[in-house]
Structure 1
Amino acid sequence: MEPVSLLRSRLESLLLVADEPTSAEDFARLVDAPVAEVSATLTEIATEFSDRGMGFELREHQGGWRLYTRRQNSETVEAKVLDGAQSRLSRAALETLAVIAYRQPVTRSQVAAVRGVNCDGVMRTLTLRGLIAEVGVTGEIGGAHLYATTELFLEQLGIDSLDALPDLAPLLPEVDQIDIG
């Protein structure tokens, strides 16, 4: 078997440590190679992984490249993830995440009003896990922090945008109708 090129070896190493999709331009800068050569090598790697039926695949998503587990293996990967290797989200966290996903951007008070309980701890957990993030402040005096879901949230669900969420929004009250008094 013929050894891979130094460029390919470096790109594969970078792909393994990338925690978000990375553009060909960024890879080219990191490996000091022409963008066209990097793009061609990334496409070659993706094709080879696909042709060989590897357990992972290299995909380009929104202008960035990243390694993913093969879609056909999702049940097996999900079983491992849910087997305690990573802790599951609590019911409270899932409910809070749903409110934020469907009504973002929202304040802690608005989420608490929908859920009927204080959600500070849950929101802190979701923020630490990278599933939600602070995206601004309200225009009101004292400016409450506004929260929204992150790209990691979309990636974890395997969707490209919030438009792909099931149509549950009509079941939740509009943010401006929530009484936080």
Structure 2
Amino acid sequence: MPILDESQEKELKGLLCALLLAADGPLSMAILLDLINGAVDEEEWPTPVHDNHLQDALQALAQDYDGKSGIELVEVGGGWRFRTATRFSHMVRRLWPERKLRLSKAALEALAVIAYKQPCTRHEIETVRGVDCGGVVRSLLEKGLVRITGKSDDVGRPLLYGTTKLFLETFSMKNISALPTLRSLDELDADQAAQLQFQVSETLAERFKNAVPVSKEFDGDGSIIDSKDSADSDRTES
């Protein structure tokens, strides 16, 4: 594998900055390699880039943009992206008050169950939470935090739900294994499951408040919910 000289390394870092800033979501190593080496084939970029070149350049950029300047480069949601530093989230939030994505306490609890049990059915979510979750699950689907992953083999072939890349981005996780390690929900009794969902939803709520990507703004205050989420919660849990 050829070694990049200092000028080539500097140019590669500049290119990565441009690509990551222009992207509307995280870019994976595979996508970045395809973009750059595809440009080499079309004679729009001079030097082929290998995995090690790219990884070294990304790590160097992450050190350059570690949040001290107000911007940080993070590996999240299966790729790399720039975002504003967490300590300035309360100020960045003021730029786009109308773009806040709000989650109710009920939504955070259901999301916590889905995150740990996925793929899981609505019945499994409701078994853990003890209430009807139809409205909350629909709201999570509409917000893009949950997706339908298939159908169960159980009677009636109910839909299976799992989390999305947006979920990982929102909660600042590289992948789903970044969730706190817990015992299987199936091993817990009703009281233990209730306590667990409370603890996990509190953890997610805290991460939700601190996650501020450059291109989006989120509000994780469970006490403030949008009208649709509120209506769903009132209708399904009364």
TM-score normalised by the shorter chain: which range applies? Answer: 0.5 to 0.7
Relative contact order higher in (CA < 8 Å, ≥ 6 apart): 2
Structure 1 residues 104 and 14 mapped into 2: Cα distance closer, same or farther (>3 Å)? Answer: closer
1:172 aligns with 2:193: yes
Say if 1:15 and 1:67, in contact at 8 Å, map to a contact too: yes
**1:49 equivalenced with 2:65 (yes/no):** yes
**How far did 1:151 drift?**
3.1
- 1:125 is aligned to 139
Q: TM-score, normalised by structure 2?
A: 0.54
Equivalent residues of 2:121, 2:158 under 8 A apart: yes
Does residue 20 of structure 1 match 2:41? no
Count of residues in Structure 1 that have an aligned counterpart in Structure 2: 168
Query: Does the 8 Å CA contact 2:72/2:84 hold for their aligned counterparts?
Result: yes
Question: 1:99, 1:114 within 8 Å by CA — same for their partners in 2?
Answer: yes
Tell me the SS of whatever aligns to 1:159: coil
**Superposition deviation, residue 146 in structure 1:** 0.8
Q: For 2:144, what is the secondary structure of its paired residue? A: coil
Structure 1: tracts of 5 or more residues without a match? 174-181
How far, CA to CA, are the matches of 1:87 and 1:112 in structure 2?
Answer: 24
Q: Whole-Å Cα distance in 2 between the matches of residues 30 and 18 of structure 1? A: 20
Post-superposition CA distance 1:106-131 (Å, at most 9, x none) = 11122233333332221122122221
Task: Report the counterpart of residue 118 of structure 2 in structure 1.
Answer: 104
- After TM superposition, list the pairs within 5 Å mapping 1:1-80 onto structure 2: 8=14, 11-23=17-29, 24-29=32-37, 31-32=39-40, 33=45, 34-36=48-50, 39=54, 42=58, 45-50=61-66, 53-60=68-75, 64-73=79-88
**CA–CA distance in 2 between the matches of 1:41 and 1:122?**
42
> Aligned letter for 1:57?
E
2:166 counterpart residue number: 152
* Separation in 2, partners of 1:167, 1:84: 36
Q: Which amino acid aligns with 1:91?
A: K
Aligned AA (2:33): E
Residue identity opposite 1:17 in structure 2 = A
Find the aligned partners of 1:115 and 1:67 in 2 and give their Cα distance: 36
Partner Cα separation in structure 2 for residue 138 and residue 19 of structure 1 = 31
Which sections of structure 2, spanning at least 5 residues, go unmatched?
1-9, 195-238
Does residue 160 of structure 2 align to residue 139 of structure 1?
Answer: no
Deviation, 1:150, is: 2.4
Instruction: Indicate if the aligned counterparts of 1:111 and 1:119 stay in contact, CA closer than 8 A.
Output: yes
Q: Is the 8 A contact 2:77 2:173 kept in 1?
A: no
- The answer as to whether partners of 1:154 and 1:162 remain within 8 angstroms in 2 is no
59-68 or 140-149, larger mean C-alpha shift: 59-68
Aligned Cα root-mean-square deviation (Å): 3.8
**Percent identity over paired residues:** 34
CA 1:63–1:35 in structure 2 vs 1: closer, same or farther (change >3 Å)?
farther
Superposition deviation, residue 49 in structure 1 = 2.9
